[in-house]
Amino acid sequence: MDFTVSDKMQTIVEMINEFLEKEIIPLEPAFLSKPFRELLPVINEKREIVKKMELWAPNHPTEFGGMGLDLMEHALVSEALGRSPLGHFVFGCQAPDAGNIEILHKYGTKEQKDKYLAPLVEGKIRSCFSMTEVDMPGSNPVMLETTAEKEGDDYIINGHKWFSTGADGAEFAIVMAVTNPEESSPHKRASMIIVPSDTPGFNLVRNIPIMDHTGDDFFSHGEILYQSCRVPRKNLLGKEGEGFVIAQDRLGPGRIHHCMRWIGVCNRAFDIMCEYANSRLISEGRNLASKQLTQAKVAECAAEIQRARLMVLDAAWKIENLGTKEARTEISLIKFTVPNVMQQVLDTAIQIMGGLGMTDDTIVAYMWRHERGGRIYDGADEVHKSAVARQILKRMAVSG
């Protein structure tokens, strides 16, 4: 395995870091205190600058205006952008649009790509991913109550979804629904279907309040009722019954994106913590950094961040060179390791900063609130730990 960073990628990452420091991080105080829509004019100005710098949509296909970076390259970009909650949005690679773009590029028809993929990559529209259901376990994507029944040339969709991130203001949703209930394999019953948000029967019930954040039309988690929602069967992505396979294709690389973004969060919190420790006087001539307890915490965080980072790069290399299926264990390992490391680093930063850490005078408290969900979405810790253990024990039984 070669994790050498090319000169090209080193330059790209340096440009991104410089842009974040000068143009994006100064916007964070306003981001923490105002509705996002009020910041949108200046955010859009920054996005146009990014496009002129030819850094727009780093992991998206070149034929649609992206940079076409591979998974390992985008991992480095995601780490840099993760230093600010605005980073991925400003550079056009935010979730859930990034995952939906990957799905549309791999499984979409030419008509679907022209209508949905091209404007999505350009940043002209937004989308949401509608899979998690209110009454079903979100960590088990084969257990779905939402149905898409065939009627002539249409599907009639009925179901109740929530945590459809970005639903408010989205042009369309990619909905996972059961199309083949009679199929004996539970992994072949569901399909993915494009549903425009202005379709009658697409009802956005609310933006779910999360961790002291009521949500607005750019940072929201929507609850949606699909009530006799009629869409043409040509809106099917891939083939009928491929919903589970497509979901796995989406989630594997997506976990690399998330995990490297979380490493970026760790790096930012770590830097703020260290700067504070060096500047905070605790007695005449001595600062917080001079205390052995502080030094031990800094060392522990540095080691944990490095451990998590190398694990993610290892998983990304295996996905790229061996395929998602061969990297299942590594993907699950990072999914429960990295968010726990991130929570540890964030909590340590808050503890060292004391009262300041509890305020929104720095970005750390926001990150602590916003990122706690990382141990739940895309598969809870417990699910991934069980998956890893089963895979390891199965291999051991066969080799034994």
The CATH number of the domain where 351 resides is what? 1.20.140.10
Under a CB-based contact definition with an 8 Å cutoff, are residues 68 and 77 in contact?
no
Q: Report how far apart, in Å, the C-alpha atoms of 228 and of each of 127, 130, 160, 337 are.
A: 21, 16, 12, 41
Kindly report, residue by residue over 67-76, the tens digit of the pLDDT: 999 999 999 9
Q: How is residue 98 written in tokens?
A: 């990034």
Distance CA 138, CA 344 (A): 25
Q: Report how far apart, in Å, the C-alpha atoms of 299 and of each of 57, 277, 279, 345 are.
A: 35, 13, 18, 11
Quick one: pLDDT at residue 295? 98
Q: List the chain residues with pLDDT less than 70.
A: 217, 400
Q: Is the domain of 14 the same as that of 152?
A: no
Q: Is the domain of 285 the same as that of 393?
A: yes
Q: Is the domain of 254 the same as that of 185?
A: no
Q: Is the domain of 55 the same as that of 152?
A: no
66 in a structural domain:
yes
Under a CB-based contact definition with an 8 Å cutoff, are residues 142 and 175 in contact?
no
- The residue count of the chain comes to 400
Distance CA 221, CA 212 (A): 13
**Pairing between β-strand 127-130 and β-strand 172-178 as defined by DSSP bridges:** parallel
Q: Is the domain of 205 the same as that of 249?
A: no
pTM attached to this predicted model: 0.94
Q: Report how far apart, in Å, the C-alpha atoms of 305 and of each of 175, 234, 241, 298, 340 are.
A: 35, 46, 40, 11, 11
How crowded is the C-beta side of 254, counted as CA atoms within 13 Å?
A: 21
* Domain that includes residue 199, residue range: 127-239
Quick one: pLDDT at residue 217? 65
